[in-house]
Amino acid sequence: MTTPLRRPGKCWKRRARSAIREVPAPPVYLRMVNEHIDRYGVAPDGRLYRASNGGILLSKEYTAVWKEARKIALPRKMANSPFAEVPYALRKAGISFWLRCGMDPAEAASRAGHSVAVLYKFYARILDGRREQANALIDRAMREAEGA
């Protein structure tokens, strides 16, 4: 399942201003987004998140909310640490999660809007140490091939 992703008034990396990038989204995520829309609606121009007056949400506004949310959601020790210090940390955590779940790195790179080279540059340590998992995948595939 995919959903078109637009960035009004801004250009994606090396893409035309009018470009739409397809972003595959798992059903559980789409349900969460739809529940959010059912509860809060969208801005007149279709944006999912907006300022309380309906305008564009400025980074200083969501950063302030983020800081307060961290105090509420995290234990004091974590809230006082660099853990998830900025909202962008969620993107990195999400990509790391995909890779840890075993998502193909090329697919993860595509979903993140990266090249595979960029993905490996920044996420190599997530992919490291997976020898046993790789051996199990090869072993299973070889056993299936022998049985075919």
Question: How many CA atoms are closer than 13 Å to the CA of 59, on its beta-carbon side?
Answer: 3
Tell me which residues of the chain have a pLDDT lower than 70. Answer: 1-15, 17, 21, 23
Q: What is the pLDDT of residues 1-19, one digit of tens each?
A: 445 444 444 444 566 767 7
pLDDT score at 7: 46
pLDDT score at 14: 63
pLDDT score at 8: 47
Q: pTM for this one?
A: 0.61
